[in-house]
């Protein structure tokens, strides 16, 4: 039977397909498929309400909702007066749900739905048009393989008659009551296609060096088919929960590194897989939505609960709650996190040379016992204020670098500023500080007043920082490539504001009174700007040389690896 319609809308039709793929109208077959849907619905614990837009809103598990929707489309909800008097809710360790039903005429029977392999193992017969015949497990296994291989999620549905005398006035249902003697009614195959953006998000994670593993309760063939669509697992066979139970911890550590798809798993398997990843030194982020997922979410380095369909227990156990239940949001959050981390490093990398240059200027003045310091205390405060307000804050708005999702994850023990960046801070401090001292002495040598020489020195200091801002916007690559130089308009606005404030600092009478500055000749601005431009050029050349050296080192490393192999 083909059932039309999408989602939980009850509109849709069921069409019987014959062997020659033509439509068929068989009342007896129609009643049989309604019996299947009715039996499956009697095991469901989900329900629907009407949302503000008039659409049906599910309360409960999505698979349960799909079963109820099927029954509604076929007009096969439980018959009037039928009552569930006992039930066995679904548990992953058993793989099925069952209910004891009493009809208005007093007939009692058991309805069951669950994983096909669990249900088939308990069935002795199957229902056909002429009644009940002995079950043919091989034929059903072949059908199931065909469906699961097409990424369908499959449930088997069965029933069992119960003698009216059993159960007494207070009927009960136990797992022992459903161990055998059931009659298979058929299977329900549901297609739950992944969102279109998920495959792209997973590919983005792979480029970023992030492994993605699927841990599901679905049939292994279904999991493999979906994983193939999403680009997970590279076509490798899925490991099942039974396979995991047979592995020691050492074997599991190897398996979790080699396999990416795990099927027919329980929450206990999820926790064990997580622990295996952590034993290997991996940083593991785990998603989940159910109460039973809470231990794994709590143990994960980053627990991520579903915000739409997740339980409160899962949300409380997690560090993050995914508001839209979309895997793509996780990949976007990784990119955003890497960008924020980059921008924090860039801000520190920009601010420290300012302080280093100022410290160099003041320390040099003290050590050589100058009669007058090249820059006064209040002028240092001015330089700090405008570089922090107009320049450093710009880096908070810096867009992500082009390779932000093309790098491997950083080591969790990696310092915020490694030796390479510390070296850059040191030589840029020396560049700007040395240029500031040189400008001060050259201005005095050109017979400028002390106030003018200090004004020139402060402008050289700020110009060096203004040009260095553009170097810092890309940590290791060149800012001149890929259109990055002018990509952040906020930086251009900040530089324009900086120029205006430095002009006021130099020429406005009230600024001259407050900061002890004096107007300088227009020709003095040429060496000031040239000094800043030199800082920019020197840092870009250093990044270029370093990048080429690293590239050659990687080539040599790959060659050694090939020779070793």
pLDDT the model gives residue 92: 79
pLDDT band at 167, cuts 50/70/90? Answer: very low
Q: Which of 227, 235, 281, 228 is nearest to 257 (CA)?
A: 281
Residue 144: which H helix or E strand, with range? helix 137-148
Cα(400)–Cα(560) distance, integer angstroms: 34
pLDDT over threshold 80, residue 275: yes
pLDDT tens-digit map of 332-380 = 999 999 999 999 999 999 989 888 998 998 888 888 767 788 899 899 9
pLDDT recorded at residue 19: 55
What is the distance between the alpha carbons of residues 439 and 375, in angstroms, rounded to a whole number? 11
∠ CA(260), CA(262), CA(264), 5° rounding? 170
State the Cα–Cα distance between residues 203 and 211, nearest whole angstrom: 10
Give the count of alpha carbons within 13 A of 341, CB side only: 15
The predicted model gives 310-334 an average pLDDT of: 90
Residue pLDDT, tens place only, 74-99: 887 765 567 888 999 888 788 899 99
Q: Give the C-alpha separation, 117 to 71, whole Å.
A: 23
Q: How far apart are CA 34 and CA 38, in angstroms?
A: 6
Eight-class DSSP state of 295: H
Q: What is the pTM of this model?
A: 0.76
Q: Report the alpha-carbon distance of residue 9 to residue 50 in Å, rounded.
A: 11
Output the CA angle 443-445-449, nearest 5 degrees.
Answer: 55
Residue 456 has pLDDT above 90, yes or no: yes
Would you say the C-alpha torsion 494, 495, 499, 505 has a positive or negative sign?
Answer: positive
Q: Which residues contact 221 (CB under 8 A, 6 or more apart)?
A: 144, 145, 148, 149
pLDDT-based confidence at 499, cuts 50/70/90? very high
d(CA 231, CA 331): 15
Residue 396 C-alpha from the chain's centroid: 22
DSSP 5-57: --TT-----EEEE-TTS-EE--HHHHHHHHHHHHHHHHT---EEEE-TTS-EE
User: How many CB atoms neighbour CB 369 within 10 A?
Assistant: 6
Is the torsion defined by CA of 218, 222, 223, 226 positive or negative?
A: negative
Q: Which residues neighbour 378 within 8 Å (Cβ) at sequence distance 6 or greater?
A: 514, 515, 516
Average pLDDT rounded to a whole number, residues 485-500: 86
- In this predicted structure, the answer to whether residue 18 has a pLDDT above a threshold of 80 is no
- Across the range 546-553, mean pLDDT stands at 86
């Amino acid at each position: 039977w083909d059932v039309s319609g999408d989602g939980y809308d009850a509109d849709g039709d069921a069409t019987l397909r014959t062997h020659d793929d033509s439509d068929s109208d068989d009342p007896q077959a129609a009643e049989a498929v309604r019996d299947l849907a009715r039996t499956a619905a009697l095991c469901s614990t989900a329900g629907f309400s009407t949302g503000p837009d008039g659409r049906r809103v599910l309360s409960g598990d999505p698979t349960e909702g799909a079963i109820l929707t099927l029954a509604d489309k076929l007009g096969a909800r439980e018959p009037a007066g039928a009552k569930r008097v006992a039930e066995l809710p679904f548990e992953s360790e058993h793989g099925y749900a069952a209910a004891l039903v009493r009809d208005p005429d007093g007939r009692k029977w058991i309805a069951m739905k669950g994983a096909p392999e669990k249900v088939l193992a308990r069935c002795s017969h199957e229902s056909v048009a002429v009644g009940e015949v002995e079950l043919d497990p091989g034929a059903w296994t072949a059908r199931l393989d065909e469906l699961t291989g097409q990424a369908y999620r499959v449930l088997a549905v069965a029933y069992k008659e119960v003698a009216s005398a059993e159960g007494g006035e207070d009927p009960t249902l136990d797992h022992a009551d459903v161990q055998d003697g059931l009659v298979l009614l058929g299977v329900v195959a549901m297609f739950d296609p992944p969102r279109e953006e998920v495959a792209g998000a997973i590919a983005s994670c792979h480029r970023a060096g992030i492994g993605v593993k699927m841990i599901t309760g679905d049939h292994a063939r279904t999991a493999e088919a979906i994983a193939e669509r999403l680009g997970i697992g590279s076509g490798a066979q899925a490991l099942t929960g039974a396979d995991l139970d047979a592995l020691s911890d050492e074997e599991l550590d190897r398996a979790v590194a080699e396999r990416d798809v795990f099927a027919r798993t329980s929450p206990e398997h999820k926790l064990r897989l997580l622990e295996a990843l952590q034993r290997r030194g991996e940083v593991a982020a785990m998603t989940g939505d159910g109460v039973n997922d809470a231990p794994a979410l709590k143990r994960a380095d980053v627990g991520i609960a579903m915000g739409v369909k997740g339980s409160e227990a899962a949300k409380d156990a997690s560090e993050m709650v995914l508001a839209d239940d979309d895997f793509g949001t996780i990949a976007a959050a990784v990119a955003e996190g890497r960008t924020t981390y980059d921008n924090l490093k860039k801000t520190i990398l920009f601010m420290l040379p300012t302080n280093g240059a100022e410290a160099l200027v003041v320390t040099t003045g003290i050590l050589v016992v100058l009669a007058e310091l090249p820059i006064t205390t209040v002028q240092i405060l001015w330089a700090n204020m405008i570089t922090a307000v107009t320049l450093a804050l710009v880096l908070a708005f810096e867009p992500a670098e082009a390779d932000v999702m093309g790098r491997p994850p950083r080591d969790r023990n990696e310092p915020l500023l490694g030796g390479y960046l510390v070296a850059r801070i040191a030589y840029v401090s020396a560049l700007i500080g040395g240029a500031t001292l040189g400008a001060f002495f050259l201005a005095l040598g050109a017979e400028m007043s002390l106030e003018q020489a200090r004004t020139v020195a402060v402008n050289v200091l700020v110009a060096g920082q203004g040009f260095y801002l553009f170097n810092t916007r890309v940590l290791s690559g060149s800012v001149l490539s890929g259109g990055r130089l002018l990509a952040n308009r906020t930086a251009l606005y900040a530089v324009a504001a900086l120029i205006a404030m430095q002009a006021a600092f130099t020429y406005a009478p009230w600024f001259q009174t407050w900061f002890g500055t004096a107007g300088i000749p227009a020709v003095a601005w040429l060496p000031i700007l040239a000094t800043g431009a030199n800082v920019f050029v020197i840092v870009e050349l250093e990044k270029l040389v370093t990048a080429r050296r690293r590239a050659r080192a990687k080539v040599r490393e790959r060659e050694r690896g090939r020779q070793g192999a």
